[in-house]
Amino acid sequence: MTAIKHALQRDIFTPNDERLLSIVNVCKAGKKKKNCFLCATVTTERPVQVNVVKVKKSDKGDFYKRQIAWALRDLAVVDAKDAIKENPEFDLHFEKIYKWVASSTAEKNAFISCIWKLNQRYLRKKIDFVNVSSQLLEESVPSGENQSVTGGDEEAVDEYQELNAREEQDIEIMMEGCEYAISNAEAFAEKLSRELQVLDGANIQSIMASEKQVNILMKLLDEALKEVDQIELKLSSYEEMLQSVKEQMDQISESNHLIHLSNTNNVKLLSEIEFLVNHMDLAKGHIKALQEGDLASSRGIEACTNAADALLQCMNVALRPGHDMLHAVKQQQQRFGDLREQFARRLASHLNNVFVQQGHDQSSTLAQHSIELTLPNHHPFHRDLLRYAKLMEWLKSTDYGKYEGLTKNYMDYLSRLYEREIKDFFEVAKIKMTGTTKESKKFGLHGSSGKLTGSTSSLNKLSVQSSGSRRSQSSSLLDMGNMSASDLDVADRTKFDKIFEQVLSELEPLCLAEQDFISKFFKLQQHQNIPGTMAETEDLDGGMLPRQQNSSVLQSVSSEKDMIRQMMIKIFRCIEPELNNLIALGDKIDSFNSLYMLVKMSHHVWTAQNVDPASFLSTTLGNVLVTVKRNFDKCISNQIRQMEEVKISKKSKVGILPFVAEFEEFAGLAESIFKNAERRGDLDKAYIKLIRGVFVNVEKVANESQKTPRDVVMMENFHHIFATLSRLKISCLEAEKKEAKQKYTDHLQSYVIYSLGQPLEKLNHFFEGVEARVAQGIREEEVSYQLAFNKQELRKVIKEYPGKEVKKGLDNLYKKVDKHLCEEENLLQVVWHSMQDEFIRQYKHFEGLIARCYPGSGVTMEFTIQDILDYCSSIAQSH
């Protein structure tokens, strides 16, 4: 590269009075590589001009030629592409952007550094150096390679530094003082040398003259040093005196510190003693109340409650570090423990006696309540016991063993008491349902237990007995009050509904009151008031409980709710079996009672679940509801089975089938019972099952009927079903209602056509032949030319059917229809009107054929449409 540089300087730049300062071997970016050189040059003449020259090797020979030159002042931006990584690419922004790729990164860096220095030295112009390392832009620290490339040129640049204004002015004054300064430079230089020697001599003399002054200054310095020594001696003596004073002050400070420390310790000791006295001293009145307080009176209970709270505060005081090692504190804690144990025993014994007394007191009221269908009220007992609620809370937190013992004893005593009350209550309910105690024995009730006895076979006998007893009751009551059997059934069912509702209405407040009492008395949380989604919960001091502590609180609440439920299950363990026995009895009395029970039980379950879905009452009623629903489903299945087992008489008319009438009764009863009920969906499903069973079995009976035509059985029963569904407006059976109407219409039309048959048989055969000829292709107006179908043959046939014969045939048809149809459905006139319409249709058909096939013949029927109407009307009126 040095040889190329010298060659370029000699061949290209020296002839143009330029010096080459830096060179870089480049090629254009992105194109076919053709090497050239970029040169940084300065002119030797003033003013100095700095250029960037592109030099390219000639294609014809081995020499270089100058291709293009740019003035450095036209350069706007130098972009080195990357200031960190080595990258040979760089851009020069003149009037347009020139992109270059150097042969090496070192050459590129040296060239950019030279451009920066030339800019700083000659142009003082703001050229933007982009993505250039800061090391390249430091003029005083050139890189090794840059120094090797441009070092000699920098010295050459230094020889041509410009003079400043003052230097130029001094040179001009000197040259003006010497006329021959320009013509004889040697003489001018000799003169300047002589003047310089004169100045040097004057400087030496001045230095020698100042020696005396230096001696005087040294003497003054010696005197000052002596004064300093005297001052140091005085300062030493002062320091010795202050040292003794410092020792005395240190002793005083230490004494004050000990006094302050003693006072501080005394204050702390007094604070600790006051803390222990204030927080661990139990008043004598509280001690007396705990030992001898009257737990039977309200005032004594209040005093014991306050004393127990005070004792708990003393026992739970947060002792400071070291307090538990004090003998007095240990003695006081032992005393508190003895007081707590003594009072807990006394409280537990008293409450056990109260529980026992409650059982005796309540037993005396059972006889009175057994007459009426009501349960004894436990509110007074709850009110008396709630006075001890705070003491129970104290016992729960201080002696959980005795608290658990009291809980168990309460459940034992109360479960026996409630069992007697509830069994007697259900016995009264069963007696009221069946009428008398003797009547109840027919249904399997024995003794006060109220349990249903007997095996499966005896249960079937019981149902037969129940229906028999109801029939006997019905017959006797009918004789007495002229009441219908259905009215008796409605009265019995209404009575059962009221009794069942009263049973549930009595049980529900009893359970809720007991559950509320257990929660308050035993201090158990019924409802979870803590939001489950909160990650943190505020404590009593306004701080925050962490997530882990919050979850433990939630678990505690859940366990307390479980405890309430377990206590209720133990206390009221007889409710569910007694309810199931009562439900079984009601189902045996009348299977339709299951509808009443389903509605009532569903309502009470819904109410209980709205209060607390997990409560004992909600769970128990839910279990019983399953039994009721099972009985309801069994009732529906029994009805469908009875439909399938229906047998009809072969000698009498069928009429309205029994199960169709029973479905009407069931639907009417169900609609009245399930009005605004919560479990309407169960009834809708039952409706679908029943109606499909009715449809299938009506068709089955119609197919088996011998006395009554199939179409009559289908028509009458589906008409009855359609009327029932139209009257009741059961939304879930809209499709079945339309189907019943369609079946009724279809079978009515079928029966009319079948019964009417061909009242003008010969005439009908004649016109069938006419229609056959027309079908074979003979024109209608040419049929009369056929020998078998001419006008004379037509007149013969018509004469065989005078009005009198037609009326006689219709009268016989009316009697036949009257025998087929039943009176209950009252469809005789409907059927007769349909037959009249069908007969008129046939008549019009015959007249049409005569008019088309025998035009202008004057042949007409022996009777008219008006005659037919008169015949039908007179026949209907005569019967």
Model confidence over 426-468: pLDDT tens digits?
999 888 888 754 444 444 444 433 333 333 333 333 333 333 3
| Tokens of residue 775, six digits | 């079908």
Q: What span, in angstroms and rounded, lies between the C-alpha atoms of 586 and 232?
A: 126
Average pLDDT value for the chain: 80
Instruction: Report pLDDT digits (tens) over 782-819.
Output: 888 888 888 888 888 888 888 788 888 788 888 888 77
Q: How many other C-beta atoms are found inside a 10 Å radius of the C-beta of residue 698?
A: 25
Average pLDDT of span 61-83: 87
Indicate if the pLDDT at residue 23 is higher than 70.
yes
* 808 domain residue, yes or no: yes
Q: What span, in angstroms and rounded, lies between the C-alpha atoms of 497 and 598?
A: 11
Instruction: Report pLDDT digits (tens) over 243-276.
Output: 888 888 888 988 899 999 999 999 888 888 887 8
One domain for residues 795 and 752: no
| Tokens of residue 173, six digits | 């004054």
% residues pLDDT > 90 (the chain):
14
Q: Are 175 and 181 in contact (CB under 8 A)?
A: yes
| CA 675 to the chain's CA centroid | 34
* 370 domain residue, yes or no: yes
Please report the pLDDT score of residue 593 as a whole number.
86
Q: What span, in angstroms and rounded, lies between the C-alpha atoms of 307 and 766?
A: 120
One domain for residues 754 and 679: yes
One domain for residues 408 and 507: yes
Number of domains observed in the structure of the chain = 5
Instruction: Report pLDDT digits (tens) over 117-167.
Output: 888 888 777 788 888 888 777 654 444 444 433 444 444 444 445 667 777
One domain for residues 222 and 268: yes
One domain for residues 580 and 699: no
| Tokens of residue 191, six digits | 């003169």
Q: Are 8 and 21 in contact (CB under 8 A)?
A: no
Query: Which of 417, 387, 616 lies closest to 521 in space, CA to CA?
Result: 387
* 480 domain residue, yes or no: no
One domain for residues 655 and 614: no
Average pLDDT of span 62-84: 87
Instruction: Report pLDDT digits (tens) over 527-577.
Output: 544 334 333 334 433 444 444 544 554 455 567 788 888 999 999 999 999
Indicate if the pLDDT at residue 472 is higher than 50.
no
One domain for residues 429 and 493: yes
Domain that holds residue 371: 363-436+489-525+559-627
**Pairing status of strand 97-102 against strand 89-93:** antiparallel
Q: What is the CATH number of the domain that holds 571?
A: 1.20.1310
One domain for residues 370 and 432: yes
Given 136, 154, 176, the domain boundary residue is 136
Please report the pLDDT score of residue 179 as a whole number.
65
* 598 domain residue, yes or no: yes
Q: Residue 278: helix, strand or coil by DSSP?
A: helix
Farthest-apart Cα atoms in the chain, separation: 191
Indicate if the pLDDT at residue 647 is higher than 60.
yes
Instruction: Report pLDDT digits (tens) over 495-516.
Output: 888 888 899 998 889 998 998 9
Given 280, 300, 317, the domain boundary residue is 280
* 542 domain residue, yes or no: no
Average pLDDT of span 855-862: 81
Q: Give the pLDDT band (50/70/90) at residue 408.
A: very high
Instruction: Report pLDDT digits (tens) over 374-402.
Output: 888 888 889 999 999 999 989 888 888 99
Indicate if the pLDDT at residue 758 is higher than 80.
no
Please report the pLDDT score of residue 765 as a whole number.
85
Helix (H) or strand (E) holding 715: helix 710-728
* 776 domain residue, yes or no: no
One domain for residues 18 and 84: yes
| CA 509 to the chain's CA centroid | 34
> 571 phi and psi, to 5 degrees?
-70, -45
Q: What is the CATH number of the domain that holds 80?
A: 2.30.29.90
Helix 298-315 and helix 284-292, axial crossing angle in degrees, nearest 10: 120
Helix (H) or strand (E) holding 525: none
Sequence-distant (≥ 6) Cβ neighbours of residue 652 within 8 angstroms? 707
| CA 767 to the chain's CA centroid | 79
* 621 domain residue, yes or no: yes
**What type of residue sits at position 553?**
V
Q: What pTM was estimated for this model as a whole?
A: 0.55
Please report the pLDDT score of residue 486 as a whole number.
55
**What type of residue sits at position 184?**
N
- Output 683 or 651, whichever has higher pLDDT: 683
DSSP code for 11: I
For the chain, the C-alpha Rg in angstroms (whole number) is 64
| Tokens of residue 409, six digits | 């004893």
Q: Which of 152-156, 678-682, 758-762 has the lowest mean pLDDT?
A: 152-156
Q: Please report, for residues 230, 409, 489, 798, the alpha-carbon distance to residue 677 in angstroms, rounded to integers and kept in the order given.
A: 121, 42, 22, 68
Instruction: Report pLDDT digits (tens) over 71-80.
Output: 988 898 999 8
Given 758, 779, 797, the domain boundary residue is 758
Q: What span, in angstroms and rounded, lies between the C-alpha atoms of 775 and 771?
A: 6
Average pLDDT of span 68-96: 89
Indicate if the pLDDT at residue 346 is higher than 80.
yes
Q: Residue 157: helix, strand or coil by DSSP?
A: helix
Please report the pLDDT score of residue 182 as a whole number.
63
One domain for residues 9 and 92: yes
| Tokens of residue 630, six digits | 């099972």
One domain for residues 417 and 513: yes
Sign of the torsion formed by the C-alpha atoms of 709, 715, 720 and 721:
positive
| Tokens of residue 132, six digits | 């250039």
Indicate if the pLDDT at residue 180 is higher than 70.
no
Please report the pLDDT score of residue 221 as a whole number.
87
Q: What span, in angstroms and rounded, lies between the C-alpha atoms of 861 and 842?
A: 12
Please report the pLDDT score of residue 370 as a whole number.
54
One domain for residues 97 and 204: no
| CA 251 to the chain's CA centroid | 77
Indicate if the pLDDT at residue 361 is higher than 70.
no
* 471 domain residue, yes or no: no
Q: How many other C-beta atoms are found inside a 10 Å radius of the C-beta of residue 404?
A: 12
Q: What span, in angstroms and rounded, lies between the C-alpha atoms of 621 and 601?
A: 7
